[in-house]
Structure 1
Amino acid sequence: MDTLEPTDRSTVRRNRKRAVTDRAVLHALLADALLVHVGVASPHGPLVLPSAFGVDLDGPDDGGSLYLHGSVASPWLRAAGQPVCVTVTELDGLVAGRSGFHHSMNYRSAVVLGTARDVTDVGERDRALDAIVDQMIPGRSATLRPSTRKELAATAVLAVPLREASVKVRSGGPNDEPEDVAAGIWGGHVPVRRVLGDPVPDSDAHGDVPAEVRALVQASVQAR
């Protein structure tokens, strides 16, 4: 399954020219992102919350698995068996148009729709939790002690299939009216990049900064 928008509700209609149907673009966006927002229906109305996440493109769900986790006491994590909406956005630039109407942002965004699944298999839970850690710092999970039974009992893990998704991308400068360009007003865009600072050891940290943390920061420096 290489193309996106497999259903009517996941098909982009507004600003269709910005829609991307190559599933590889979704995978690349998920690889870059650090945060998603999860929309669920609650007894008090719609609820949208930020969440860390992990991805297994070879996971058991249709199209691969997007994993979310949190406390078993969190009401939104009781959404197993319910439809959810997961969104991710990476901001790439601020677009300064020659009119207020044509100001915009450059971005890569995805909307994933699906039914959340409670992950109960021990092996899959372990892989999911490792994926969430490695989404933040690649390779970190392999250096950590195993989770305790108490920690696992306090943690809920949900999986959302990646099959039903849409992606939109905007890049470049403003789409100004010809008369506004002719008027001589400045227009353009300001690139936005994520930059990581130097690691700050905890007050009781031992040893040097781990290799996986150094590699993460170095990759950020090289991307500037």
Structure 2
Amino acid sequence: MDPAVTPLSSTDRTRLRRLRDQGRTDRAALVAVLRAGFVCHLGVVVDGTPMVVPTVYGFDSSFLYFHGSVASRSLAGGRTACVTVTHVDGLVLARSVFEHGVNYRSAMVYGLPRVLSGAAKLEGLRVLTEHAAPGQWDYARRPSRKELAATAIFALPLDEASVKVAEGPPTDGDGPDASLGLWAGVVPLGVVRRPPVPDPALPPGLPVPAHITALAEEA
């Protein structure tokens, strides 16, 4: 079976209990949500208290990789985590406040993150870097041993995940409120990549690398 159309896991944690029509069951939907961003929110329980930490991520066919300081309590190993990636695509403005909503794409990945070391740690950092800025891993200086020692890289299996997508116009166009004569629709939202801004410390005339220019052109 093509991995792209492999069904997502069905567990008690991933089972949708409301708005089930927004659920997506194939792995390709998960890949699409992960590919569209590079910031996730890591949820863990620390000393009995929930904690949610934003961090950057990368992924391959089997794992989601994220990083943090080795001193971070929230990123300590041995804790089950829930990582969420969300993209807001629009404000849905209906005729009644009750019917207002948000168009979005969201993925939740559950599991026990594994702390990486050695070659696996370097590879995880490469995947993470290339996901956020393709081409940068081969362009910039690689991390030193000291820098690697100060950074924790985690791999979270993509085995247990759920995806939801909300899209389209307000749902009250064929209801009683349609006769109110009020405007309704969607205000699209999105992330915009702007032209690169050079570091003021750069020497004059240093050109922008092609792979960095391409980041803005892809938007």
Query: CA deviation digits over 1:87-137, x for unaligned, max 9?
Result: 0100111100111111000000011000111112x2211111111212221
Q: Do the aligned partners of 1:93 and 1:105 also contact (CA within 8 Å) in 2?
A: yes
- AA aligned opposite 2:171: N
TM-score by length of 1: 0.91
SS for the counterpart of 2:13 is helix
TM-score by length of 2: 0.93
- AA aligned opposite 1:77: L
Answer with 146-155 or 5-14: which moved more: 5-14
SS for the counterpart of 1:204 is coil
Q: Structure 1 residue aligned with 2:125, among 129, 146, 154?
A: 129
Q: Do the aligned partners of 2:7 and 2:26 also contact (CA within 8 Å) in 1?
A: yes
Give distance in 2, aligned partners of 1:199 and 1:144.
16
Q: Do the aligned partners of 1:6 and 1:163 also contact (CA within 8 Å) in 2?
A: no
After superposing on structure 2, the runs of 4+ consecutive aligned residues of structure 1 that deviate more than 6 Å are none
**Is 1:74 the equivalent of 2:78?**
no
Q: How does 1:55-204 map to 2 (within 5 A)?
A: 55-57=59-61, 64-78=62-76, 80-120=77-117, 122-176=118-172, 178-204=175-201
Give distance in 2, aligned partners of 1:183 and 1:100.
13
Give distance in 1, aligned partners of 2:38 and 2:18.
26
Report the counterpart of residue 212 of structure 2 in structure 1. 213
Give distance in 2, aligned partners of 1:70 and 1:209.
28
Query: CA deviation digits over 1:167-224, x for unaligned, max 9?
Result: 000111111161101221111101112111111100122411111110010011xxxx
Report the counterpart of residue 61 of structure 1 in structure 2. none
Give distance in 2, aligned partners of 1:45 and 1:123.
34
Q: Unmatched 5+ residue regions in structure 2?
A: none
**Is 1:28 the equivalent of 2:25?**
no
Q: Do the aligned partners of 2:90 and 2:104 also contact (CA within 8 Å) in 1?
A: yes
Give distance in 2, aligned partners of 1:116 and 1:165.
14
* Deviation for aligned residue 1:44: 5.5
Q: Do the aligned partners of 2:95 and 2:180 also contact (CA within 8 Å) in 1?
A: no
Give distance in 1, aligned partners of 2:32 and 2:38.
12
* Deviation for aligned residue 1:8: 2.1
SS for the counterpart of 1:130 is helix
Give distance in 2, aligned partners of 1:132 and 1:113.
19
Q: How does 1:29-44 map to 2 (within 5 A)?
A: 29-43=33-47
Q: Do the aligned partners of 2:170 and 2:184 also contact (CA within 8 Å) in 1?
A: yes
SS for the counterpart of 2:141 is coil
- AA aligned opposite 1:72: V
- Tell me the percent identity: 44
Q: Do the aligned partners of 2:104 and 2:166 also contact (CA within 8 Å) in 1?
A: yes
Query: CA deviation digits over 1:136-165, x for unaligned, max 9?
Result: 211211112221010011111111111100
